[in-house]
Structure 1
């Protein structure tokens, strides 16, 4: 019996001893676990930073193409009058309206835009992106070396087909390379380069045209495009699926929905051309023919996609998705408002302040800053909160504020402070572009993102054509009516009105009471056009409020 306690004591003592001896070891083990966790966290952070640097490096390469393609757009606005004059002097295509130098590019972009999503799924992102660069390079070289108007327009068509991919493929790659909650932040960089490119294009084009000629404005882009092709080949890596690796080029070509692509392109070209010519009061029979062609091609496209195509170039079921239809609608309205602003602001200062084209264009700078800051702010907001609906709504409210202030403050004598209100219009565009893109990609399946993205760009490109045409038509109609009311009873008033409508520069030669009457007619016409833009922004606001939101998680 005495042995049992003796045995029990050592057991208890032994247990206590083990506990005391093992406590430091347990503490050391926990410490090692903490160190291991810290080390893993450090490695994870290092890998994350390295990945971010790698992605940013790739995006930086892609942004060169975005800058060049967008700069070319405004570059042509600044030079096409000189190009047309030169070809008329040379007798090369004087029968063609010089505006087709601009229009042909836009039509080609719209016609080819939706194809890039499906083609990038079949052939891969990298080859299709390089193809778009190559098309733009070839078109640019043809335009720079053109000897007549027809050659110039052919070059511009090829450029437009390339430009459609240079911009949209960057956004498609963003959804591949970065998490969804960071897409808006990177998307804001794309918007900045687009805006800066458009701003610089006109200045560069005007300067080069005055110094060494417009041809060098085109040819000078070629080295940058070659550099972009090389950098994309070198830097951009994309995973290849096993199925894609096994497929031959011929097998991939057979997967392309050529029939659907043809009918879609014809429908887009016919409808946009009809809208553009309709705003210029073209021949009724021509318009009717274009509308019939557009509607017929659209119906055949729908039938092809529904019953024939195995891999539709643009699946019609996408248009039935809430995220798609709301995103396309908002971006269409916001883009239309933005290009209307870009059209109206320089014209206002040319008329009311006798500003030169350069001085009038400089008044757009606040909108450029607004676009940049709006995009960056929304990118940071979405990355932090994962919510994109509030900035979508705020963008429409900012556009409404902009045009409301223009309606109140721009009455013919605009102060420097009053001229800054277009900041809110640019801010609206920057916010909408970033927020709507995230909303679109969050609302569709991963395999649909590429095609849905190109559809959004198509909506934006159509809005660019429609926005300028509609704003011009509304303004010209109002101006014609107001000039007739102001000058109708004046001797020679009808002739003065015709000259004012034909040439804005003529307004700058008027003085005294006549000038005041004409300026008043212009201001009233501007106010009517501003009112229409407010109504459009209100529509975008309603759509934004009714849109759904999926919170984006990391």
Structure 2
């Protein structure tokens, strides 16, 4: 019996949603690869150093990956806009898997650093590729319902990374911390290749090589400043000041070049849209707060609350679960109502409040109390993580979806780099001051290594030294989160100026008023055809 006209559209809609979900399986696995890698490798690093040596080059294993990923992110986004999302995304997965395999085969620390750079080059395209493809497939109005999936992937990576990394290293060897990417990546590669069908793109435009080169130099310099400053070199050293000058000059020249480029790698016109600029700034500040928290909360838990490295990851559960639940609720509300202006305001307010509460922790704070404080911080993240990307993508034309996704991701990453670097400097100085005040010059010498002592050594220290260090860590944590709360307030101020523009795909209302500065053409975007993915 033929379907009635009343039921046929419902069947088509259900089929479309099922097709999108199939594609999302591959995309979510790819996102998990991008987020999980550093968490797993970080746990394996002591074993890697024990076998390969090169302790003095240890930081470069992480820095090479981070540099390559950050520098390539905007380039991957632009290539996807120019030549089609699917082929560029599959290429980034292949490069990431090649880098993973070579890293596992490394015979020296120098080889590992070089191959981690290859892996990072591919990783730069993974996250931006996922976000841009989701932007192509799912209209902004409908995208909120999938936010919980992305928040869930982040929670799995943060909690499962250390657990998986420790288990793999102990039972299979450190090389499998890289090899584990291969079967997961191969499955994601097959899923995306077989199920994702987007309109093919062909363009005669030339790649903006000069702009890409200048942007790479500028981003690399900024990342090196935040990585080396206060660690490898003093903040006032010639190396750090030289990198700052190089970053300023290269980015200034980049702006000039982009204004004249026929197809700029980063179209400056997207910043003319107020909403895009504001949520990019908010994303930068969110990254600053989030990465600072994730870096220093485990240190506090392992030192003050006597948690193991594994348990400190589990103790982050209140923050991560809160982020997951709030992100899911915010996404559903956005999908049902099309309203989102309140979320950046509430999110930045909770982000600042959570950081302020965490700054009150001391040597006597219980795990329950710190867990409640973390839940407040996590709620703030939940309101912001996906909403900022949603507003950024809704503020540009479809042809700039990749650039919008990569720019938003890049600014959040750089914000995180600055957050970790500046928080680390604040923490180390505070620990040093407190230990010097309690132990005199001896305390200053003990704290001179960056303000951190391996928690496993605490029980072997004299009681006076241990007590001074515990108070130093508590004081350093207080200072870090107090400054973080102030940074969050800047985001709170910016969020009030975000304009609530109707989301594309929101129905009749959206057809009357497109996004600010963007010509509404819902019927001409991939939403109409590409959302019904061919499988």
TM-score (norm 2): 0.89
Structure 2 equivalent of residue 432 of structure 1: 384
Q: CA deviation at 1:270?
A: 1.1
> Does 2:491 align with 1:531?
no
> Does 2:405 align with 1:463?
no
> Take 2:241 and 2:468, find their aligned partners in 1: how far apart are those partners?
38
Structure 2 equivalent of residue 123 of structure 1: 83
Structure 2 equivalent of residue 42 of structure 1: 7
Structure 1 equivalent of residue 191 of structure 2: 231
Structure 1 equivalent of residue 395 of structure 2: 443
> Take 2:421 and 2:401, find their aligned partners in 1: how far apart are those partners?
30
Using a 3 Å threshold, how does the CA distance of structure 1 residues 340 and 500 change in structure 2: closer, same or farther?
A: closer
Structure 1 equivalent of residue 327 of structure 2: 375
TM-score (norm 1): 0.86
Structure 2 equivalent of residue 10 of structure 1: none
Structure 1 residues 188-227: aligned runs within 5 Å: 188-227=148-187
Using a 3 Å threshold, how does the CA distance of structure 1 residues 122 and 448 change in structure 2: closer, same or farther?
A: closer
> Does 2:250 align with 1:297?
yes
Alignment counterpart, residue 453 of structure 2, candidates 488, 496, 503: 503
Q: Is the 8 A contact 2:155 2:321 kept in 1?
A: no
After superposition, the CA RMSD in angstroms is 2.0
Using a 3 Å threshold, how does the CA distance of structure 1 residues 430 and 164 change in structure 2: closer, same or farther?
A: farther
Structure 1 equivalent of residue 126 of structure 2: 166
Structure 1 equivalent of residue 425 of structure 2: 473
Structure 1 residues 142-541: aligned runs within 5 Å: 142-240=102-200, 244=202, 251=204, 255-280=206-231, 282=233, 284-307=237-260, 309-408=261-360, 410-421=361-372, 422-488=374-440, 492-498=442-448, 501=451, 503-505=453-455, 506-510=457-461, 512-541=463-492
Q: CA deviation at 1:313?
A: 0.6
Structure 2 equivalent of residue 135 of structure 1: 95
> Take 1:105 and 1:499, find their aligned partners in 2: how far apart are those partners?
24
> Take 1:504 and 1:280, find their aligned partners in 2: how far apart are those partners?
17
> Take 1:389 and 1:232, find their aligned partners in 2: how far apart are those partners?
33
Structure 2 equivalent of residue 7 of structure 1: none
Using a 3 Å threshold, how does the CA distance of structure 1 residues 174 and 493 change in structure 2: closer, same or farther?
A: closer
Residue 199 of structure 2 aligns to a residue whose secondary structure is coil
> Take 1:192 and 1:393, find their aligned partners in 2: how far apart are those partners?
23
Structure 2 equivalent of residue 543 of structure 1: 494
Q: CA deviation at 1:111?
A: 0.2
> Does 2:53 align with 1:100?
no
Alignment counterpart, residue 34 of structure 2, candidates 44, 49, 69: 69
Q: CA deviation at 1:512?
A: 4.1
Q: Is the 8 A contact 2:169 2:177 kept in 1?
A: yes
What does the per-residue CA deviation read over 1:133-188, in whole Å, with 9 as the maximum and x for residues that have no partner? 00100100111000111211121111111112111111111121112211122233
What does the per-residue CA deviation read over 1:199-235, in whole Å, with 9 as the maximum and x for residues that have no partner? 2122111111111210011112212212221221111
Structure 2 equivalent of residue 23 of structure 1: none
Q: CA deviation at 1:114?
A: 0.5
> Take 2:499 and 2:100, find their aligned partners in 1: how far apart are those partners?
42
Residue 292 of structure 1 aligns to a residue whose secondary structure is helix
What does the per-residue CA deviation read over 1:380-410, in whole Å, with 9 as the maximum and x for residues that have no partner? 11011111111111111221221232233x2
Q: Is the 8 A contact 2:338 2:502 kept in 1?
A: yes
Q: CA deviation at 1:106?
A: 1.0
For structure 1, which segment, 174-183 or 515-524, has the greater mean C-alpha deviation from structure 2 after superposition? 515-524
Q: Is the 8 A contact 1:270 1:294 kept in 2?
A: yes
Q: Is the 8 A contact 1:139 1:154 kept in 2?
A: no
Aligned length: 500
Q: Is the 8 A contact 2:73 2:124 kept in 1?
A: yes
Structure with more of its chain in helix, by fraction: 1
Structure 2 equivalent of residue 11 of structure 1: none
Where structure 1 has 5 or more consecutive residues not aligned to the other structure, the ranges are: 1-35, 89-93
What does the per-residue CA deviation read over 1:16-36, in whole Å, with 9 as the maximum and x for residues that have no partner? xxxxxxxxxxxxxxxxxxxx9
Using a 3 Å threshold, how does the CA distance of structure 1 residues 137 and 278 change in structure 2: closer, same or farther?
A: same
What does the per-residue CA deviation read over 1:298-338, in whole Å, with 9 as the maximum and x for residues that have no partner? 1222222112x211010122223211211111111112111
Using a 3 Å threshold, how does the CA distance of structure 1 residues 500 and 167 change in structure 2: closer, same or farther?
A: closer
Using a 3 Å threshold, how does the CA distance of structure 1 residues 497 and 154 change in structure 2: closer, same or farther?
A: closer
> Take 1:538 and 1:281, find their aligned partners in 2: how far apart are those partners?
31
Where structure 2 has 5 or more consecutive residues not aligned to the other structure, the ranges are: 508-535
What does the per-residue CA deviation read over 1:406-463, in whole Å, with 9 as the maximum and x for residues that have no partner? 233x221222321312122222222201211121122222222221111001011112
> Take 1:494 and 1:120, find their aligned partners in 2: how far apart are those partners?
52
Considering only CA atoms, is the larger Rg found in Structure 1 or Structure 2? 1
Structure 1 equivalent of residue 47 of structure 2: 82
Q: CA deviation at 1:347?
A: 0.9
> Take 2:452 and 2:57, find their aligned partners in 1: how far apart are those partners?
16
Residue 336 of structure 1 aligns to a residue whose secondary structure is helix
